[in-house]
């Protein structure tokens, strides 16, 4: 199951470099399964960063196919990737666009990071556009942090508790015998 990313706009009072406060609205990305969970998750994440009140002004599904963080990068870039396929019936090329969110320090690095992400792609592609995204931060569901290991273990336990599907007319023993042969 692929991740569904929600863009959440959060309005809060921010202190700038000279010490004055101003109200700002910034977009963040969270991985969730519904709008309700996205709202809950962004509330939880923002409580750690914002000491005062904040308001969630908008939540929408983001159109990113994949999110790729890179170390030592501080900004997010939206890369438009056009996958090229040849339609044998019509004899024409078809382009299918997808958007990647790639972390980098500048546009050139974002291009290089997009190319490195796409290096194992079997088909042809082009990168027609890369632009800086207003996204301030990305909050994936499982980040590998120690405090989230318990949550990951619960997820894996639930996944493991799902009964295995066996084809009609076959039993689980049929599969174990085939493995030992």
Rg (CA), the chain: 22
Of 61, 82, 101, the one marking the end of a domain is 61
Listed as own residue / partner, the contacts of 119-128 with beta carbons closer than 8 Å and 24 or more positions apart are: 121/83, 123/83, 123/84, 123/85, 124/83, 124/84, 125/81, 125/82, 125/83, 125/84, 126/81, 126/82, 126/84, 126/95, 127/79, 127/80, 127/81, 127/82, 128/80, 128/82
CATH number of the domain enclosing 3: 3.10.20
pLDDT digits (tens, 9 = 90+) for 104-163: 999 999 999 999 999 988 889 999 999 999 999 998 886 555 555 665 565 555 544 434
Give the range of the structural domain holding residue 113, as residue numbers without chain letter: 62-161
Please report whether residue 173 resides in a domain: no
Q: Which of 6-20, 51-65, 138-152 has the lowest mean pLDDT?
A: 138-152
């Amino acid at each position: 199951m692929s991740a569904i990313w929600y863009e959440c706009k959060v309005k809060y009072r921010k202190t700038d470099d000279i010490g004055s406060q101003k109200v700002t609205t910034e977009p963040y990305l969270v991985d969730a399964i519904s709008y309700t969970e996205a709202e809950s998750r962004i509330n939880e994440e923002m409580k750690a960063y914002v000491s005062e009140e904040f308001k969630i002004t908008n939540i929408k599904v983001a159109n990113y196919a994949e999110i790729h963080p890179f170390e030592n990068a501080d900004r997010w870039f939206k890369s438009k990737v056009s996958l090229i396929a040849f339609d044998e019936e019509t004899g024409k090329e078809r382009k299918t666009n997808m958007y990647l969110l790639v972390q980098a320090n500048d546009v050139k690095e974002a291009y290089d990071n997009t190319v490195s992400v796409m290096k194992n792609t079997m088909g042809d592609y082009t990168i027609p556009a890369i632009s800086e995204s207003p996204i301030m931060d990305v909050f994936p569901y499982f980040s590998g942090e120690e405090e989230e290991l318990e949550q990951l273990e619960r997820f894996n336990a639930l996944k493991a508790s799902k009964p295995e599907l066996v084809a009609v007319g076959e039993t689980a023993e049929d599969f174990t015998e085939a493995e030992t042969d």
